Amino acid sequence: MQSDPKSFQIDASKLLDLRIPEACVTGIETSLELLRTHARILDAYVVQMEIGTIQDEELV
C-alpha cells in the first residue's frame, strides 16, 4: 500500500516531537514543495554524475 505523503509529514513532525501550529501549515507546505523541487534538481544531477562515472569506467 502506498503511503499518503501527508501522513509522512505528520510522522516527521512526531519523530521530531514538533507540534505544528495551525498557522504554520500553509507556509510549511509551500516551503516543503520548494525543497522537494530543489531535491529533484540535485537528484537529477547526482544520477547524471553516477551514470557518467559508469560510462567512464566502461571506456577504460
Partner 1 sequence: MTLGADASAIVVAEKVRCGAISAQRIVEEVLADIQLRNASFNCFTRVLAETARKAAEVIDQKVRDGVDPGPLAGVPFGAKDLFDISGIPTTAGAKMRLNAPPPKSDAEVVARLKRAGAILIGTLNMDEYAYGFATVNAHFGPTRNPHDPSRLAGGSSGGSAAAVAAGLVPLALGSDTNGSIRVPASLCGIWGIRPADNAIPMNGVFPFVEILDTVGPFARSLAELVLIYDVLSDSKRFSSDRQPRVARLDGWFERNADPEALQAVDAVMNHLGSHAVAKMPEAEAARSASHLMTAAQGGAFHLESLRRQAMDYDPAVRDRLLAGAMLPAGNYLKAIAFRKVYREKVRELFERFDILIAPTVPVVAPRIDQATMMVDGKPAPARANLGLYTQPLSVAGIPIVSAPFNRPNRLPLGLQFATWPGREEMLFQLLSQLEVDGLLCANAPPLSSGV
What residues make contact with partner 1 under the rule CB under 8 A? Answer: 9, 12-13, 16-21, 23-24, 27-28, 30-32, 34-35, 37-39, 41-46, 49
- Owner of C-alpha cell 537528484: 43
- The closest of 4, 35, 28, 33 to 20, measured between CA atoms, is 28
Check if the beta carbon of residue 52 is closer than 8 Å to that of residue 44. Answer: no
In the complex with partner 1, the residue whose CB is nearer, 22 or 58, is 22
In the complex with partner 1, the residue whose CB is nearer, 35 or 51, is 35
Minimum CB separation of residue 12 from partner 1 in Å reads 4
All three cell numbers of 34:
520548494
